Amino acid sequence: MWVLFVSFTDPAPSTVSSQGGTVIGSARCMDFKEKWGRLKAACNLVKLGITNLCVIGGDGSLTGANQFRTEWSELLADLTKGGKISAEEANRSSHLNIVGMVGSIDNDFCGTDMTIGTDSALHRIIEVVDAITTTAQSHQRTFILEVMGRHCGCVCVCVCVCVCVCVCVCVCVCVCVCVCVCVCVCVCV
């Protein structure tokens, strides 16, 4: 497990605000699913004096953040008992503040118009549609563009509306592990 620190001056925020994806280099951390992984994360935060954490992610990230929050006292006790941190460090870090922000292209969170990531995903998908439209028209072909949507067809429907397709079929197809796939069918006449 590694920790990456990114200064807000490098790269300048103005250069990354329009970029989709994860500019800070974070990714899924399978270690965090296990207690020993959360112990490592807690130790890193304590050693760096971090007591305020902002978690941007989907179901998994926010569930993990909540578990981390509920286990925080226990993690500090285990780290102190194991000699990884001092009692003084544990006392200074006795409370962890976590803010969770939904970052999901699915746009499946109530109370907000658009989740973080949806706009970037829509832009990338529309770029793809623009790129294949002329080919579809010149070859008089039908292209099927599949977009991710998990349990929500919002991205599929928004793309169809944005590109004014002639036919829009939004179908949720259950595959193993109950993941829904939204299919946007574009027919050019």
Q: Taken in order 67, 72, 73, 76, is the CA torsion positive or negative? A: positive
> Is 106 known to be catalytic?
yes
Amino acid occupying residue 143: F
- 172 exposure class (CB count in 10 Å sphere: 0-12, 13-18, 19+): middle
Among 177, 178, 159, which Cα is nearest to 169's?
159
In the sheet that 143-148 helps form, which strands lie side by side, from edge to edge?
A: 143-148, 179-186, 171-175
Catalytic residue among 10, 31, 106, 113: 106
Catalytic positions, written as ranges: 106
